[in-house]
């Protein structure tokens, strides 16, 4: 933004608002209180534009006299009559917006006002040669500027029409009614996507995964592949990244000196042991009030370069929440109308200084830099859509119509906005019903078993399958060895299972025998057999054959090394042997 060619720093007030106090308030400033902030020279200029002669005196007295004379209905009508169509249009735009707009938005449409003191005004006479519609209206005293708390909760500069003057101007465009909902309703969908209430379950799964695996700062491809079958909710990569940010942001897991995530025992246990409504609220507030997950950096299709703009994710969320709070509860709403409504009302919702050039954001597909207000839909509008269809949906705050752009706030969403009470604590299911322990070591955990107990089982068992209703685990020698590495003995495993359900006696005996050294190993192998011991010995003298062979299994049989089956087949043919494959599928699945 510039004033007469001079760059103005981000956040610096405009010339005609620089001396105003930060006290706009929700009541529109009157003409007199507005004029009191002007110097006597400026008051005389405005008076001249209204054909008013100001008597000699100080600025404060002159402001009161000028306001009284300007407020005469006949003078207001005469001034309106001599305005140009662009000037009337600018005033009507302000009126339709409720009497005020952010100065950044108004300047984009109607031009800037040059910064001038009395000496420069006398030299350049901007009131006779205005550079813009805005400047012309300013020197007529029809618009002014002041500061107020905007939708983001930060102080913004607004251009406005003094309230009592606005009431007298003969507008042909009605003003905006108070608290008008942004956008329009949408038809209720026949089959909307179900409300996602799985965030607490999936975060508990992530905590267990972090406990038994070394995660070096972030999830890798192998981690996501291993996790996805065990997340009954949305298992997409963006949601997994979001949950990992929540996990770290809530302090449930923190990196050690080597950068490996480790559970923070006390806060992790406190969250895991809480009831579902308490856990849900903790997740929601951690996102809504935390800056560690920067929503703008995760908008699909955008690449935000580091250091290319210091946006405030918390303030941007709060601005969108303020608009969402204006929607009628329980009504499906059009996202395609909601986003443009914010663009019209508060396009600077995440840019309180009105800065549109200094953020380095690229289109992920084309690499094009998205700068200027013309990129609003692709950046700022896309952020609003991401908030509603991404984090808010993942946390169960919004419900989405999968066939259109419609969305609806859920009970939890209304609670976040202060429009409803949070759900009360509820008792979890009886463990004896929610847990099925079988003799073969399989443990089936119902989804509504509390997250702490499921976490305890997940850390000592292998993960098999998961559905929306239950999680299936299996106790194996490998999982028991992993438990032992965490200091958990078989007796501890049996104690946990016994507290939650009935442990079959055969399983108790098997686990105790394993711990006592009665382990049996089963494995699948590819075997090479020859007609004679001499033939086997001859083949082992072939270097390319021998490197593929492992333990001998008798005078005419030998085990093939895992993964060496294709190489062995080629080596045998090179040695003059055409091998007969009895079970190739078994050979390949066995690693040969």
Please tell me the predicted confidence (pLDDT) of residue 4: 30
Pairing of strands 442-446, 435-437: antiparallel
Residues 303, 531: Cα–Cα separation, whole Å: 65
Band of pLDDT at residue 25, cut at 50, 70 and 90:
very low
- Residue the block writes with tokens 């994710």: 313
**261 φ, ψ (degrees, to nearest 5):** -70, 130
Each residue's pLDDT tens digit, 77-134: 999 999 999 999 899 888 877 888 888 888 888 899 998 999 999 999 999 999 999 9
Instruction: Kindly report the average pLDDT of the chain as a whole number.
Output: 85
Please tell me the predicted confidence (pLDDT) of residue 15: 40
Biggest distance spanned by C-alpha atoms of the chain: 127
Each residue's pLDDT tens digit, 448-466: 889 999 999 999 999 998 8
Each residue's pLDDT tens digit, 149-161: 766 566 778 899 9
Please tell me the predicted confidence (pLDDT) of residue 309: 61
Residues 389, 40: Cα–Cα separation, whole Å: 54
Band of pLDDT at residue 33, cut at 50, 70 and 90:
very high
337-343-347 Cα angle (round to 5): 160
Query: Residue 43, exposed/middle/buried by CB under 10 A (0-12, 13-18, 19+)?
Result: buried
Please tell me the predicted confidence (pLDDT) of residue 256: 85
Band of pLDDT at residue 562, cut at 50, 70 and 90:
confident
Within 8 A by CB and 6+ apart from 536, the residues are 530, 555, 556, 557, 558
Please tell me the predicted confidence (pLDDT) of residue 234: 81
Structure tokens given for 117: 């003191």
Each residue's pLDDT tens digit, 307-362: 666 788 998 998 899 899 889 988 999 999 999 999 988 888 888 777 788 889 99
Please tell me the predicted confidence (pLDDT) of residue 272: 95
**3-state SS string for 396-455:** CCEEECCCCCEEEECHHHHHHCCCCCCCCCCCCCCHHHHEEECCCCEEEEECCCCHHHHH
Each residue's pLDDT tens digit, 572-586: 988 888 887 776 554
Residues 10, 2: Cα–Cα separation, whole Å: 10
Within 8 A by CB and 6+ apart from 335, the residues are 183, 385, 388, 389, 405, 406, 407
Is the four-CA dihedral 68, 71, 77, 82 of positive or negative sign? positive
Report which of 16, 180, 184 is spatially closest to residue 98, judged by C-alpha positions: 180
C-alpha neighbours within 13 Å on the C-beta side of residue 556 = 6
Give percent of the chain above pLDDT 90.
Answer: 50
Is the four-CA dihedral 242, 245, 247, 250 of positive or negative sign? negative
On the question of pLDDT at 259 being above 50, the answer is yes
- Ranked by mean pLDDT, the top range of 121-135, 205-219, 297-311 is 121-135
Query: Residue 582, exposed/middle/buried by CB under 10 A (0-12, 13-18, 19+)?
Result: exposed
On the question of pLDDT at 16 being above 70, the answer is no
DSSP string, 328-380: PTT--EEHHHHHHHHHHH-TTTT-TT---SS--EEETTT--B--SGGGHIIII
Is the four-CA dihedral 35, 40, 45, 48 of positive or negative sign? positive
Q: Residue 230 has what DSSP assignment? A: G
Cβ–Cβ < 8 Å for 422, 404: no
Cβ–Cβ < 8 Å for 184, 227: no
578-581-583 Cα angle (round to 5): 175
- If DSSP codes are grouped into helix, strand and coil, which group holds residue 74? helix
Each residue's pLDDT tens digit, 156-199: 788 999 999 999 999 876 765 555 789 999 999 988 888 988 99
Report which of 144, 138, 174 is spatially closest to residue 159, judged by C-alpha positions: 144
Band of pLDDT at residue 522, cut at 50, 70 and 90:
low
Cβ–Cβ < 8 Å for 450, 499: no
Beta strands in 220-343 (DSSP E): 253-255, 261-263, 302-304, 333-334
Structure tokens given for 10: 């981000």
Mean pLDDT, range 424-446, rounded to an integer: 79
């Amino acid at each position: 933004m510039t004033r007469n060619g001079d760059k103005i720093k981000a956040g610096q007030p405009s010339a005609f608002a620089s001396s105003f106090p930060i006290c706009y308030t929700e009541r529109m400033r009157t003409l007199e209180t507005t004029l009191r902030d002007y110097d006597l020279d400026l008051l005389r200029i405005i008076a001249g534009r209204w054909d008013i002669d100001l008597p000699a005196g100080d600025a404060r007295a002159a402001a009161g006299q000028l306001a009284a004379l300007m407020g005469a209905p006949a003078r207001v009508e005469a001034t309106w009559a001599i305005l140009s169509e662009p000037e009337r249009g600018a005033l009507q735009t302000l009126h339709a917006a409720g009497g005020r707009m952010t100065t950044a938005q108004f300047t984009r449409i109607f031009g800037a006002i040059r910064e001038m003191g009395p000496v420069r005004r006398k030299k350049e006479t901007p009131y006779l040669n205005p550079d813009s519609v805005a400047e012309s209206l300013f020197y007529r005293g029809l618009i002014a500027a002041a500061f107020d708390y905007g939708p983001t909760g930060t102080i913004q500069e607004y251009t406005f029409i003094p309230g009592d003057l606005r009431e007298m101007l003969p507008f042909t465009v009605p003003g905006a009614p108070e608290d008008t909902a942004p956008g329009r309703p949408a038809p209720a969908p026949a089959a909307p996507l179900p409300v996602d209430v799985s965030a607490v379950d999936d975060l508990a799964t992530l905590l267990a995964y972090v406990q038994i695996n070394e995660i070096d700062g972030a999830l890798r491809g192998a981690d996501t592949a291993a996790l996805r079958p065990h997340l009954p909710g949305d298992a997409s990569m963006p949601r997994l990244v979001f949950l990992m940010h929540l996990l770290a942001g809530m302090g449930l897991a923190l990196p050690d000196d080597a950068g490996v995530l480790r559970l923070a025992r006390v806060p992790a246990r406190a969250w895991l042991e809480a009831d579902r409504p308490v856990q849900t609220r903790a997740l929601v507030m951690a996102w809504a009030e935390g800056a560690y997950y920067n929503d703008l950096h995760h908008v699909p299709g955008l690449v935000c370069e580091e250091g290319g703009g210091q946006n405030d994710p918390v303030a941007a969320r709060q601005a969108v929440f303020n608009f969402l709070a204006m929607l009628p509860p329980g009504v499906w709403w059009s996202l395609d109308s909601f986003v443009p409504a914010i663009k019209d009302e508060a396009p600077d919702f995440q840019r309180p200084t009105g800065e549109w050039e200094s953020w380095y954001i690229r289109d992920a597909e084309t690499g094009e830099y998205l700068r200027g207000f013309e990129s609003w839909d692709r950046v700022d509008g896309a952020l609003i859509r991401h908030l509603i269809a991404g984090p808010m949906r993942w946390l169960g705050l919004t419900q989405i119509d999968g066939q259109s752009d419609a969305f609806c706030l859920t009970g939890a969403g209304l609670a976040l906005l202060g429009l409803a009470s949070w759900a009360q604590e509820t008792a979890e299911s009886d463990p004896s019903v929610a847990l099925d322990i079988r003799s073969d070591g399989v443990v089936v955990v119902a989804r509504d078993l509390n997250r702490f107990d499921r976490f305890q089982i997940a850390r000592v068992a292998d993960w098999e399958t998961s559905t929306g209703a239950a999680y299936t685990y299996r106790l194996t020698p490998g999982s028991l060895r992993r438990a032992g590495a965490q200091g958990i003995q078989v007796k501890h495993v049996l104690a946990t299972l016994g507290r939650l359900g009935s442990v079959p006696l055969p399983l108790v005996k098997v686990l105790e025998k394993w711990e006592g050294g009665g382990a049996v190993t089963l494995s699948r192998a590819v075997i090479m057999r020859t007609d004679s011991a001499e033939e086997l010995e001859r083949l082992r003298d072939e270097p390319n054959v021998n490197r593929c062979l492992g333990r001998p299994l008798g005078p005419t049989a030998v085990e093939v090394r895992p993964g060496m089956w294709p190489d062995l087949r080629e080596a045998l043919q090179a040695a003059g042997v055409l091998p007969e494959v009895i079970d190739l599928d078994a050979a390949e699945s066995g690693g040969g």
